[in-house]
Structure 1
Amino acid sequence: MNRQAQAAVMFLLGAALLHAGTTGLYLRYVKAGLQPLLLASGAVLIAAAVATVWYERRHARAAHGTGPAAPGTEKATGEGAGEGAEEAHAHSHPEPRISWLLVLPLLSLILVAPPALGSYSALRSGTALKQPYGYGKLPTSDPVPLSVVDYASRAAYGHAGSLHGRPVRVTGFLALDRGGAPYLVRMALNCCAADAQPVKIALTGELPPVLRPDAWLEVTGTYRPGLMRDPVNNGPIPYLKVVSARPVPTPHDPYDETWNN
């Protein structure tokens, strides 16, 4: 891979990062707060590619005598020029062919847009629910809109009093365990999809007659006392008694970032 090819790969990778950062595609990979860094990385890669092309063209012009010579040097002619060229050729090293494998991540970023993690990953990972440092005041709306993490943490860690008598509305995707038990899930992340872990709510009550894994549901219900234990890591999974449920489109940001706030 010569310098021109390297510059082309850097330019395309930078353009792909800018495209992902400006269209929302980046939310499949990293949390929303990293968008400025992603855009900055794309801009730096494009600038580096342009600088590489400019440097190579300037170097080629100087080598052919069409550009200014470096200070303190003179153009070599005759036998001296030939010896210099042979010496430069003897010390040049071809780029390893394995470097072309760098194109594969670029092609995967351009051609393949992986879906957000779903029920397959959720059922094979233990719940990541942990007790927060504090709880915000619930809004006065009825039903109360809550994230999966907010409802689960309140219900599991002794703050369920704020949920008594209050209908809540929670959105997540559906997961069914081997026994057919339904969970409302949201994958929570710290940084990127590689560290995403599920937070689960066990559903009871008026469930839809047909339950399809990975379908996104907006569930309205009430707090139901009690906890079950996640069979993967023995973590707490609270219950939610469903009053109604309706399918909704996959949200723009499918991950939940509130669990580490």
Structure 2
Amino acid sequence: MRLGLQFVPENERKNFTINNELDTTDKTMFDRLKGKLRLEISLDDYSFMGKKGQKFLAGYLSCSNLPLKERVQRDQINVFLLVKRPITRIKDSMNMILKPFVREMQQLEKSGMKITKDDGEIVKVQITLSKIICDNLAQNEILGFSMAFAKSSFCRECLAKRENHSTSQGPIVKIMNLFLLSLIKSKENLNLSTKTIALRLGSFPLYNGKISAEFKNKFLNINVNGVQKFESFMRLPEIFFDEFEKICDSEIDIIQFYESTAGTV
């Protein structure tokens, strides 16, 4: 008898239900968010005149402490940003647009917000930015990566192409080595320290696979644990794009703000 997986609707699930950011197995994330007023922002570009019309960037803010059914109501979603995009593209436009918001969030996370209760008691509420919701294009712009991405490219930062890194190894090892080669290139271009890269890869799942000789030579000077973390990195190819973004430095203020205030990588 062949058994198959049975889908259980979310409202009927008894185990592993996810209602908000606190329903996570990531202890670092949980500790950063627990007991705080959690703000989430959504960013999206739109045009009144179709694809060729003038674009506007809208930013929406809501409180993720509220149950989902409540926080998706219109009176619980606040517009905190509405910007007319310049006709000529500016490299750091997202950086400039978000700078006022970033500064205000830094102050709120540092000082909190005092609220007076009905009985006159003053309570200090801690505030944090829980997440940023956006599409891939806006994500790349926030992180400072290329806005154009060819089908054969496997790295958004250096735009390296698969056909330029042929190998006779199996597809999984090939993909891993391509990714490691992109790390080497980015280490040189972005002046990333070996220690920084090792720390940022520390939370990824283990993989005891092969590793390219070039990669070993480049990072032979780091400690055994650091090397093992590099060897252990293994994900599906389409996930590489997004995981790679996590380990690259960025001059975008919002990323610096997120790392300095949240204490996470």
Sort the TM-score into its range (normalised by shorter chain).
Answer: under 0.3
Q: TM-score, normalised by structure 1?
A: 0.21
Between the two structures, name the one with larger relative contact order (CA 8 Å, sep ≥ 6): 1
- Would you tell me which structure has more strand in proportion to its own residues? 1
Q: TM-score, normalised by structure 2?
A: 0.21
Considering only CA atoms, is the larger Rg found in Structure 1 or Structure 2? Answer: 1
